[in-house]
Amino acid sequence: MKIDPAAHQKMVEKRQEGHQKKQAAATREKGLLIVHTGTGKGKSTAAFGMAVRVLGHGMRLGVVQFIKGALHTAERDFLGSVAECDFVTMGDGYTWNTQDREADIATARKAWAEAERMIRSGDYQMVILDELNTVLKYAYLPLDEVLAVIGARDPMLHVVVTGRHAPEALLEAADLATEMRVIKHPYREQGIKAQQGVEF
Amino acid sequence: MKIDPAAHQKMVEKRQEGHQKKQAAATREKGLLIVHTGTGKGKSTAAFGMAVRVLGHGMRLGVVQFIKGALHTAERDFLGSVAECDFVTMGDGYTWNTQDREADIATARKAWAEAERMIRSGDYQMVILDELNTVLKYAYLPLDEVLAVIGARDPMLHVVVTGRHAPEALLEAADLATEMRVIKHPYREQGIKAQQGVEF
């Protein structure tokens, strides 16, 4: 592939112009409701990447894991050891391990109590609600109640919600929503098992 | 939404069965080539989330940032301070800031030398090549050379490549590829500017 230097320069100039125009128009700051959904990988992972960013700035972070507690211990070990991060795990692993809807609801309720406390406390700049979408999909928590608490948060607090099947009303309330879409998955296509450092 | 407990139990049992079948079929371990692409957010962020996972397991991590050096300092501050992580930043910010193709190629070449060293060294369990896709799209590096080095890596080494516009040949070589797709973006839709802890 050959690229003409003059054409390249023209292209980057045009891009820079567009970028500057957008930057000039974007002047507000506010706490964002961020949703990561879809069936691809990277929903929780991108949330934990934001955690790194937040902690790198010395901001305070709260994390509630609603479901994957039994799996995602590495994040907990690492982030939980940072003074600026409060990390709470409530879920007992995947829901199909429990097969007990009432127990799952009780767990979701306990996790939500922690989440609500974090959101209302004013102690954090970001609160990550990992796998809350899944909990909402199974109707373990009333969506209205969750939306009300998130909607009444401090205007500068960022809330990140992850999990497949984000409810439509949550996406409507969201400022930033991303779908992680599978292009290729080794688990499915090559019989590769979940591996340390990648999946857990 | 009402869910019948018996129907719920049947559903989770069926899911668990499917999950166990897949787990039984997935027995291999290997170093994965992982690609995060698409125009949505979360590509680099999910890579840094994997970094947390890897470091949480006490594994060694190498990171080369090809482009976003000027922006993503929080990740560098945080991860670069961890003993198990070698973090190298080469890019001078977005390419349209330099408007000099020859200088960009020289920078890409230097960054790639570091990446190649990390990949060949045997010192790491994961190497993250942040924004390499962008470098390949602009043809700052020859794709064949990049694919050859990645293809000849230790069979257990995970390599993560991020950036928009992943080349087709890289996606073909990938074990795991995810597209991050925009559902909603505050920058575009609400005039919200890039904020600490979210964008940088």
pLDDT in tens, B74-115: 777 788 888 899 998 876 655 545 568 888 888 899 999 999
Please count the structural domains in chain B. Answer: 1
- Structural tokens at position B82: 């961890």
Contact A74/B57, CB-based, under 8 Å? yes
DSSP states of A37-97 as a string? ESSSS-HHHHHHHHHHHHHHTT--EEEEESSGGGT-HHHHHHHHTSTTEEEEE---S-HHH
> Count of CB contacts below 8 A, A vs B?
274
CATH of the domain at B61: 3.40.50.300
Asked if residue A140 is part of any domain, the answer here is yes
Question: Closest Cα of chain B to A61: distance in Å?
Answer: 10
Partners of residue A164 in chain B, C-beta under 8 Å: none
Mean pLDDT of A30-53: 92
Question: Closest Cα of chain B to A5: distance in Å?
Answer: 7
Domain extent for B100:
32-189
- Is the pLDDT reported for residue B8 higher than 80? no
Asked if residue B16 is part of any domain, the answer here is no
Asked if residue A198 is part of any domain, the answer here is no
Window 90-129 of A, Cβ < 8 Å to B: 94-99, 101-102, 125-126
Q: Is B68 exposed, middle or buried (0-12, 13-18, 19+ CB in 10 A)?
A: buried
Q: How far is CA B195 from the centre of its chain?
A: 21
Contact A184/B171, CB-based, under 8 Å? yes
Asked if residue B185 is part of any domain, the answer here is yes
**pLDDT for the residue A1:** 46
Asked if residue A96 is part of any domain, the answer here is yes
Asked if residue A149 is part of any domain, the answer here is yes
Partners of residue A9 in chain B, C-beta under 8 Å: 99, 101
Cα–Cα distance for residue pair A176/A158, rounded to 1 Å? 11
Q: Which of B54, B78, B95 sits opposite A197 (nearest CB)?
A: B54
Residue at token pair 């894991």: A65
Asked if residue A5 is part of any domain, the answer here is no
Asked if residue B132 is part of any domain, the answer here is yes
pLDDT of B48-65, one tens digit each?
A: 889 888 988 889 999 999
Lowest mean pLDDT among A17-21, A135-139, A189-193, B47-51: A17-21
- The identity of residue A149, as a single letter, is V
